[in-house]
Amino acid sequence: MRILFLSHYFPPEVNAPASRTYEHCVEWVRSGHEVTVVTCAPNHPRGVLYEGYRNRWFQTEEMDGIHVIRLWTYLSANEGFLRRTLNYVSYMFAAIVATPRLPKPDIVISTSPQFFNGLAGWFVSRLKRVPWALEIRDLWPESIVTVGAIKNPLIIRALERLELFAYHNADVIVPVTDAFKRYMIGKGIDARKMSVLKNGVNLRLFQERDPATPEAQALARQLGAEGRFIAAYVGTHGMAHHLETILEAAALMDNDDILFVMVGDGAERDRLAAKRSEMGLNNVVMLDQLPKASMPALWSLTDVSLVLLKKSDLFKTVIPSKIFESMAMRVPIILGVEGEAQTIIEQAGAGICIEPENAERLAESVRMLYEDGALAQRLGGSGRRYVQQHFDRAVLADRYQRVLLDTIALARTRTQSGGVGTAGH
């Protein structure tokens, strides 16, 4: 099978979509498939090129057997509606213009958000005359409307029409949660064209915790965390996460042995750093985004993983991917997310679920795990066993490739019988 995968984000970027795309593609290459990823020069989240890269019209590289094509885009930090929209739209047009130079695939996959990356898949698949798989990792534009990033009703209605156009014209839709599937069914989309494939974790990379490794010890010295209990938030510092809850919980602590660590970048990071200084919080350390290879060392030092989102009905449909890394590393979780993610944590017995945006409950839960090491160990062990059984990335990638092969076979059958080969004709 020849796969052409459109993804706005890709390593060395370390956000969730980059990791998901890369890890699936690596597994497909191991299975003998030819995989090409069409992406940008790495610049997320600051809009600044990573060292060693240039923002050229068309450049190629090989990464672990994956053929990577990087296209020119208008670079922008992950903040501000207009400039980010230009960044997204420029990628879509770059992918369309580059289509004649892209290899002939058997199927095109595009992933959303960002939404215009997802929509680019329709154009490229039609030009290549092959089926289109649309991966849905978040509900867009609903998610950005919920956090207040877009308020103009005309823009919202236009984006909602494009959303429905994409759902109706994809040959197969791959949502990452059951709630996303239910949402699309409610929009009139045929359930038979959807295959839910949730996020998972690379169990080769994320294994048992070992805080004694040289990498972990060096990071502990950097944090000033030797001998301290670490409650860590790792990921995007965005409008959807309401991370001031962590600062408010830290202010309630009277134990110097407990250290809150916030690792990552995003639109809200500078504001949160300023707020931390205003509150005089010496028990909160903020680190910039770390390379993917450094994450096992960070998780090895972490005693409890904080996974938080704003209190919203929309976010009940979301499963933050970081819960799987935490479980794989035997790190118990305090989850401030309702809905499907809460169900996973409760079924796994992997952590404590709290009301979103509740700083008092967050502080109480951190204290509980600090004081009860046996409970923390039991939750961590349960999470590790559960993720091995249900969320091994290699197993999920195999299921994904079977969905793709079935979609290709169905399109060919339709063509041979004189029907349409893709859903959009």
Say if residue 404 is in the same domain as residue 357. Answer: no
Q: Identify whether residues 324 and 398 lie together within a single domain.
A: no
> Judging by DSSP bridges, how do beta strands 66-71 and 58-63 pair with one another?
antiparallel
Asked whether the predicted pLDDT for residue 422 surpasses 60, the reply is no
Residue-wise pLDDT tens digits, 261-291: 999 888 899 999 999 999 999 999 999 888 8
Average pLDDT of the residues in 99-109: 97
Average pLDDT on 230-244 reads: 91
In this structure, are 371 and 315 located in the same domain? yes
Q: Residue 128: inside a domain, yes or no? A: yes
Place of tokens 């029907």: 419
Stretch (H or E) spanning 112: strand 107-112
Residue 421 has pLDDT above 50, yes or no: no
pLDDT per residue as tens digits for the range 57-81: 999 999 999 999 999 999 988 766 6
pLDDT digits (tens, 9 = 90+) for 203-212: 988 887 777 7
166/183 same-domain check? yes
Q: What is the percent of the chain with per-residue pLDDT over 70, rounded to a whole number?
A: 95
- Distance between CA atoms of residues 211 and 299, nearest Å: 9
Q: What is the pLDDT of residue 425?
A: 38
User: 363 with 381, same domain?
Assistant: yes
Q: How confident is the model at residue 114 (pLDDT cuts 50, 70, 90)?
A: confident
Distance of alpha carbon 179 from alpha carbon 45, whole angstroms: 28
Residues 184 and 54 in one domain: yes
**Residues contacting 35, CB < 8 A, separation 6+:** 3, 5, 25, 28, 29, 65, 66, 67
**pLDDT given for residue 153 in this prediction:** 80
Q: What is the pTM of this model?
A: 0.85
The structure tokens listed for 302 are 């972490």
**pLDDT computed for residue 190 by the predictor:** 95
* 190 and 263 together in one domain: no
Tell me the pLDDT tens digit for each residue of 184-224.
999 999 999 999 999 999 998 888 777 778 888 888 888 88
For residue 424, pLDDT over 50 is answered with no
Structural domain boundaries, residue 51: 2-200+392-416
Task: Return the exposure string of 396-420: e unless at least 16 CB atoms fall within 10 Å of the residue's CB, then b.
Answer: bbeebbebbeebbebbeebeeeeee
- On whether both 235 and 131 belong to a single domain, the answer is no
Average pLDDT, the chain: 91
367 domain-assigned: yes
Find the CATH number of the domain harbouring 40.
3.40.50.2000
Average pLDDT over residues 315-323: 90
Q: How many domains does the chain have?
A: 2
Q: Is residue 342 within a helix (H) or strand (E), and if so which, with residue range?
A: helix 340-348
More confident site: 38 or 158? 38
Residue 208 in domain: no
In tens, the pLDDT along 288-317 reads 888 877 888 898 899 999 999 999 888 888
pLDDT > 50? residue 130: yes
Asked whether residue 224 is domain-assigned, the answer is yes
- Is residue 107, in this structure, part of any structural domain at all? yes
Is the domain of 386 the same as that of 396?
no
